Structure 1
């Protein structure tokens, strides 16, 4: 079992889950220390599923309430809203020296932030619209504070997510644990209650989906300054006939050096705030660009490096599936092992697996449901070609060779225009594979959805393709014809199977 240097214990180790970070949807934090990643509201804004939309509603209504109070000079309301923000030590994210202890974001920090927003021209004029904007224009607010505030606001969904993961992995939960302040977006007020949560050691634990964390925020002050504000200032100086910052080169061309811009205008947060207030369109344009471009989720490699956890062992995960005995008695084990394998293989295209998700008020169930957040590769291809795939459904059949029309119809009956119309049927083998693939094609041509069937041999090929992409090294010396680097997210087997459905 992998352990961090120094004897730190991960959630997976503490509870004996039997998986490492690569096959887990949540950040596998140490139960006493912090992992230096941060919850990024920019990631949440681009989650297409119901959980993400719920979180976004909370973020939007909370900060709109804060700004409304600030602009109305309602100091009591602003202090009340921000004064309920506490130290979210239960997530074990961010950075602290030694035992996880937050960054000092207590009630006083909330009151201080309220005062800073009240005095901020950026907040009064509308330059600050979203929580992330505060990291640009409010002193002593950075990614750690933005992450802490976000954690407080979305505590309710994080509690629900933690309860779901605890149920899946058999993590014990205690009754009557104080939830902490939870934001209600409908009443626009803080609520308190008692919930079921895991207690790791002597402290409650909140698990966080790894898809919403990053090393740095999507909205970057340095990026904004370097790529947006500085070029605008350079252009302004070039337009001034007598600018002292313009240099004429030997060829007659005129230039304004970045260093001269920094020396003249400054580059500190107050400097950026001052110049942005004079040119609000520049920041508004930057913010709009960032809103439209979804940030890439943290990769297996990044999270492994940051958290000092092992990379996914794809071959071990595959072996676990292949060694599962076929038959009804091992159906549950096969289901769990398929989820572990696919969660590692398909990340970061597919995230937040739900096991045994109920549909139609419990009248139907789907074995596994993933949220599709792909930005490139096969699962992004589906969306670009108008194949509804917000959720990708997986059915697991641990049969011998009897998979047929009933199993295919069962999966296609789970499809809908809202949930999605693409799914995967994982099984062991077929009596007549070609015949079954033709049935999948018939289902697609009848407008009943798109099903790709994967048996044991297909899973071997899928993992082999992933390993080829992960371990690819360019030829040395380079060949005459440029090489095309294989990419994990392309999943060539899935592309071939999908094309066979529609061609």
Structure 2
């Protein structure tokens, strides 16, 4: 029983911004804290701060000898069943820190040379350097720490997709940044009958596995450094090869120094620069989000057929009567095409105290490609979309309407989507005039352009390139 199925949201995973979890079990995907730090939006910055703040508070409590307080902070990570992510079989139960685990983790942290030396700075470091903590526990812990922002995200998604919210639901423990402790509130959440309350997670932040790996760190970073040290010192572990070169085998190093987490910590503490180099490389190369194709496969769903979408688009009549149907389809198509660059769509967004409204607004979270290039060179924290189901050409009022949504704090780039354009050169000139007047950048797309983008997507699924969109941008600014 999928979340979307229970609430009768008849959309496939590729059209949805959140992970369409199975209410009866867990989905084998995880939240990796490293990519969270690369998010561009205020929401992304918020959750990154939550993680940093929480873990710093735990470490400060341990270093100051407030043992019972530190354990109580760790025990707060024990509830996570409502997220439905992880390895659980059957009924979801989570893998976060229960009372026993919290005590063990606290003991490990207090005794860890990594903690005492100051090596531990981030939550993901514990998966590398603390015995008993694995990636699944880190992912569940993250869900709990950012429960507050995820509740807000869930509420926004329920409003967007028309999913009923039930008031006065116990929130579970929420991290209180101001008071550096856990608190509980009563909030509005979707309640899926016998399956209970659900907190949604954006598919943008999910991964197949965590980017950090203790075994990989030891094998590819620590052991090569140790080998070079033995070569420099000409130790008994050095083998001279036939060509005269010297080599130290990793198997010999593992046998001499061990390879469990205690051994990893032992060798890392005396080589902190190696650990910092590893973290820097991981932070600079975060793993990409799970693709819609991979998520659909995990959920036994089919990806939308692009040719069927094209036929559906062609069959929607023009005119006000079918405007909502047209806008819904355009939103589905754009959400599929532009993920993971554009996310968290909101419809009919109020701006200027409600005096102006936007059909659709996306957050620009692009890490590469066209939308990342836009982000690096123009103001486009958000991408605005106006949909016009006209049977005639759009003119100056529609162009002015979209440009009126722009602003330095929101973004200066938008898409004007309409059915057909007889005089394309005239509309292009109107959009160019908007640029020249410093009122923003508008890319106009008609049915033919949408079809071209869908065909591009079919041919370029792996790299999500948008050659036709890039050509339109070039036409606009040249």
Structures share fold, TM-score greater than 0.5: yes
In the TM superposition, what are the counterparts of 1:310-325 in structure 2 within 5 Å?
A: 310-325=302-317
Tell me how large the CA RMSD over aligned residues is: 1.8
- 1:3 maps to none
- 1:457 maps to 448
CA deviation map 1:73-112 (0-9, x unaligned)? 1112212211222221111100112111112632332333
Does structure 1 conserve the Cα–Cα contact (< 8 Å) formed by 2:129 and 2:214? Answer: no
CA distance in 2, matches of 1:455, 1:488: 24
CA deviation map 1:246-290 (0-9, x unaligned)? 211111111223333333333222111111011111101211222
CA distance in 1, matches of 2:119, 2:96: 27
Alpha-carbon deviation of 1:152? 0.8
Counterpart selection for 1:496 from 443, 447, 471: 471
Counterpart selection for 1:363 from 355, 360, 370: 355
Alpha-carbon deviation of 1:430? 2.2
In the TM superposition, what are the counterparts of 1:72-91 in structure 2 within 5 Å?
A: 72-91=64-83
CA distance in 1, matches of 2:41, 2:276: 27
Counterpart selection for 2:439 from 438, 448, 452: 448
Q: Mind listing any 5+ residue stretches in structure 1 that lack a counterpart?
A: 1-8, 471-486
Alpha-carbon deviation of 1:191? 1.7
Aligned residues, how many?
477
- 2:42 maps to 50
Q: Mind listing any 5+ residue stretches in structure 2 that lack a counterpart?
A: none
CA distance in 2, matches of 1:108, 1:221: 23
- 1:308 maps to 300
Q: Does 1:284 align with 2:284?
A: no
Q: Does 1:239 align with 2:232?
A: yes
Counterpart selection for 1:187 from 179, 189, 193: 179
Q: Taking structure 1 as reference, are residues 488 and 239 closer, same or farther at Cα in structure 2, changes over 3 Å only?
A: closer
Q: Taking structure 1 as reference, are residues 276 and 165 closer, same or farther at Cα in structure 2, changes over 3 Å only?
A: same
- 2:108 maps to 116
Counterpart selection for 2:203 from 210, 228, 236: 210
Q: Does 1:413 align with 2:401?
A: no
What TM-score results when the alignment is normalised by the length of structure 2?
0.95
Counterpart selection for 2:459 from 458, 468, 486: 468
Does structure 2 conserve the Cα–Cα contact (< 8 Å) formed by 1:90 and 1:204? Answer: yes
Q: Taking structure 1 as reference, are residues 260 and 94 closer, same or farther at Cα in structure 2, changes over 3 Å only?
A: same
- 2:421 maps to 430
Higher mean displacement: 77-86 or 19-28: 77-86
CA distance in 1, matches of 2:236, 2:403: 69
Q: Does 1:98 align with 2:98?
A: no
CA deviation map 1:453-486 (0-9, x unaligned)? 111111011101111223xxxxxxxxxxxxxxxx
CA distance in 2, matches of 1:418, 1:232: 47
- 1:222 maps to 215
